[in-house]
């Protein structure tokens, strides 16, 4: 599986003919190297949403109105459907959605969630995505929490973790999360996009490597294979 970092918490996962976009914050993301028009031409299998804050919800409705399934909690799926996304999928924490491209399971995350218009966005989540035989955990926005050990029991190939601090855990806490998650590969996210996000991904990389995890700090636009 190829994993492309698009800045902030936005990732494109690709395996064969299938492409899945996570937290599609393209417009308004100063670090994103891809424009919306280009991304709409990707023939996406799904768009996955961790929570409803604007820097994660992003351009979800643009994809949803083009017919791409927008998948998230009941509140996110319901909001998308009510705003013109005919193939939106509403699910909830602990549930798994399966399709021809693979699957996504929603996990807890400790954060908050509301849409840009102030509508309640339901509980924030993490996402365990299976694509091309590879299992990737996108933590969304969260603090460190002990039940990450249960997520790690699913034998993760990769973990995408926020390290920016202020709104989420910082690099030291994210490194401690690796002890619980036990992935082969880790990629830091949600840092440096805006002034409050001061967490240093190199601190996370150093701490993660000391734990025997292959930490890859990706520049926006860069792709790695998992």
DSSP 69: P
Report whether 164 contacts 192 (CB < 8 A). Answer: yes
User: What's the pLDDT at 166?
Assistant: 98
DSSP 202: H
User: What's the pLDDT at 34?
Assistant: 97
User: What's the pLDDT at 64?
Assistant: 98
User: What's the pLDDT at 66?
Assistant: 98
User: What's the pLDDT at 94?
Assistant: 98
pTM of the model: 0.98
User: What's the pLDDT at 50?
Assistant: 99
Domains along the chain with CATH numbers: 2-219 (3.60.15.10)
| 188 burial via Cβ count (<10 Å: 0-12, 13-18, 19+) | buried
In angstroms, rounded to a whole number, what is the distance separating the alpha carbons of residues 54 and 25?
A: 8
In angstroms, rounded to a whole number, what is the distance separating the alpha carbons of residues 40 and 9?
A: 18
User: What's the pLDDT at 23?
Assistant: 99
Identify the segments of the chain with pLDDT beneath 70. none
Q: Could you report the per-residue pLDDT of 11-31, keeping only the tens digit for each?
A: 999 999 999 999 999 999 999
User: What's the pLDDT at 82?
Assistant: 98
HSE at residue 137, side-chain half, CA atoms within 13 A, is: 31
């Amino acid at each position: 599986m190829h994993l492309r970092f698009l800045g902030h918490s936005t990732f494109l996962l690709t395996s064969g003919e299938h492409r899945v976009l996570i937290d599609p914050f393209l417009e308004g993301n100063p670090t994103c190297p891809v424009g919306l028009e280009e991304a709409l031409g990707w023939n996406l299998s799904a768009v996955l949403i961790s929570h409803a804050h604007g820097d994660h919800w992003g351009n979800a409705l643009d994809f949803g109105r083009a017919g791409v399934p927008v998948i998230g909690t009941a509140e996110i799926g319901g909001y998308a459907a009510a705003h013109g996304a005919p193939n939106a999928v509403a699910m909830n924490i602990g549930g798994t959605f399966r399709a021809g491209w693979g699957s996504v399971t929603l996990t807890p995350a400790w954060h908050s969630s509301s849409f840009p218009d102030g509508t309640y966005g339901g509980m924030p989540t993490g996402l365990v995505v299976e694509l091309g035989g590879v299992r990737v955990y996108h933590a969304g926005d969260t603090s460190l929490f002990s039940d990450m050990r249960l997520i790690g029991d699913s034998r993760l190939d990769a973990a995408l973790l926020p390290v920016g601090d202020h709104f989420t855990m910082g690099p030291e806490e994210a490194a401690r999360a690796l002890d619980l998650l036990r992935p082969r590969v880790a990629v830091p996210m949600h840092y440096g996009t805006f002034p409050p996000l001061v967490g240093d991904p190199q601190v996370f990389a150093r701490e993660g490597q000391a734990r025997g995890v292959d930490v890859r700090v990706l520049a926006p636009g860069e792709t790695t294979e998992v």
